[in-house]
Amino acid sequence: MSLLAYSLITIIERLSWLFYILIMIRVILSWVPTNNNFTELIYNITDPILKPFKDVLDKYLNLPIDLSPLLFIITIEAVEKILIRLIIVIF
């Protein structure tokens, strides 16, 4: 595997990890009623990411619990695996 392929795979894995951590922090913050700058920052970062997933879930399933973080994590994992396989095949 070339250095370029290894670098691209590392970047994809790190970005995936970053999104996962941000979503997990948001989920944990949603359980605790706090209103501070850190909470607002996390919500401002993750709201645009989760909104399309929330809209799809609200359109097709009217559940009392928000499953958009779970759907986002599953989607990010699938996209990560596909991109890594493509990089391995191309390089």
- Tell me the C-alpha distance between 26 and 31, whole Å: 9
- Return per-residue pLDDT of the chain as tens, 91 residues: 899 999 999 999 999 999 999 999 999 999 998 889 999 999 999 999 999 999 999 999 988 999 999 999 999 999 999 999 999 999 8
Q: What is the CA radius of gyration of the chain?
A: 16
pTM of the model: 0.89
Cα(78)–Cα(63) distance, integer angstroms: 24
Helix locations, the chain, DSSP H: 3-31, 37-60, 68-90
